Amino acid sequence: MASASRPPHGYARRLPSRTASTTDPSPPGGHSKMMQRLIFEPEHEQFRDMVRRFFQKEIGPHTARWREQGHVDRWAYQKAGELGLLLMWAGEAYGGAGIDDFRYEQIVSEENIRHGDIGFYINLHSGLVAPYIAGLGTEEQKQRWLPGCAKGDKILAIALTEPGAGSDLAGMRTTAVDNGDHWVLNGSKTYISNGQLADIVIVAAKTSTTESHRIGLFVIEAGAAGFERGTRLKKMGLHAQDTSELFFKDVKVPKNQVLGEPEKGFHYLTNFLSGERLIVAVSSMAQSQTAFDLTLEFARDRRAFGRAIGKFQNTRFVLADLRARIDAMQTFVDQCVMLHNQKELTSEVAASAKYLASELENDVMDACVQIHGGAGYMEEYRISRMFTDARVSRIFAGSSEIMKEIIGRSLGLDERKLN
């Protein structure tokens, strides 16, 4: 892919090397002068070294091909599973390591983004979907599904969004009708991450025709009669991530494939979405830091008017502004990780982290593309891909507007309280 759009001879000599600045920017604490982070212990740093080597050696070399083919290879999950990187929090009886410390998930996400590919949705699988099974599942359900997920043999997805209902999930039209010993599911979902690869999909469906907030969470396995996948959706970014429509036509779901109570889905989603938003915030920070590092390197190497562009005051000011904002936000997100570990991360603080980190990520990408000049618009420069990858952070897992709604609701300003 890189050679197809190589800059013309001569121009290339004046551009900083792509290899150094596109794939492997300096690690945290390297020459980017990232502020010291206080949440990690020596064992986390050792873990980070191991995880970094995994992403550099096993994942990084395949990412360009994955972006071309539109999805990661299944073996990526299995290799991550062999190393124990999936469902680390789950008990050993379910194939995990019993490590209930979100910092490990955070490290996996950070190293994946820096050295692997954001499209490898290891955190969606491990940190976002699997907890629904662990938190809501019966013993039989946990035994049945979690070990395969921890090994990477079974890939997970969650399907909430529909063509007519995203932010407003109460408007969903997928239904589940009680039919004695099973439920019958009908409807369709869209924009589903891992939609092509998933072996197990948690599907939200209405279980009442009269009460819009009554939904259930149903586990649908690949191969179930009536469950079909649409084609992979073409997207602006995240090209290694398979995003799809899913269709359900009279799918029979045995009663033992419902998670929790079949009418309490909204309540469950509210609880679990905080974790999802923290994962997005962590990812936005890793994207921001990585973009900053490769742009700093570019500003050192790229020359204009007889000097490195980093010598222009404007470049320094822009990078200084980003440095200060990334450090401040990283501190906040790290604090949220510790609150999450203590089970004290509220939905409004998680919403604040997701909102602010994803908005910052987009500001960072825009400024970093600008510093790269024309090179920043060229696909072979990683910053151009990061720019398009970043755009969705302000939309999925609850848009920025919905995050502000959640934060706003916690302020005691609603009409009933203000007269």
Ligand X SMILES: Cc1cc2nc3c(=O)[nH]c(=O)nc-3n(C[C@H](O)[C@H](O)[C@H](O)COP(=O)(O)OP(=O)(O)OC[C@H]3O[C@@H](n4cnc5c(N)ncnc54)[C@H](O)[C@@H]3O)c2cc1C
| Residues identified as active-site | 276
**Eight-class DSSP state of 87:** S
**Pick 353 or 392: Cβ nearer ligand X:** 392
> Which residue number, 151 or 235, has a Cβ lying nearer to ligand X?
235
Q: How far apart are alpha carbons 298 and 353 in whole angstroms?
A: 29
Q: Closest approach of Cβ 391 to ligand X, in Å?
A: 9
CA-CA distance, 113 to 105, in Å (whole number)? 12
> Which residues are CB-contacts of 391 (< 8 A; sequence separation ≥ 6)?
236, 237, 362
Nearer to ligand X, 116 or 398 (CB): 398
Smallest distance from ligand X to CB 395, Å: 6
Least separation, in Å, of the C-beta of 55 and ligand X?
21
Contacts 24+ apart (CB under 8 A), 269-274: 269/160, 269/169, 269/204, 270/347, 271/135, 272/128, 272/131, 272/132, 272/135, 273/347, 273/350, 273/397, 273/398, 274/340, 274/345, 274/346, 274/347, 274/350
Residue nearest to ligand X (CB): 166
d(CA 233, CA 237): 11
Work out how close the CB of 267 gets to ligand X at its nearest, in angstroms, rounded to a whole number.
17
Please state, in angstroms and rounded to a whole number, the distance separating the CA atoms of residues 36 and 183: 52
Q: Which is nearer to ligand X, 200 or 322 (CB)?
A: 200
Pick from 268, 265, 264: nearest CA to 347 = 268
User: 25 or 187: whose CB is closer to ligand X?
Assistant: 187
Binding site for ligand X (CB under 6 A): 157-161, 166-168, 191-193, 235, 238, 243, 392, 395-399, 401-402, 405
d(CA 178, CA 155): 27
Greatest extent of the chain over all pairs of C-alpha atoms, in Å: 78
Closest approach of ligand X to the CB of residue 77, in Å: 16
Contact predicate 157/326, CB 8 Å: no
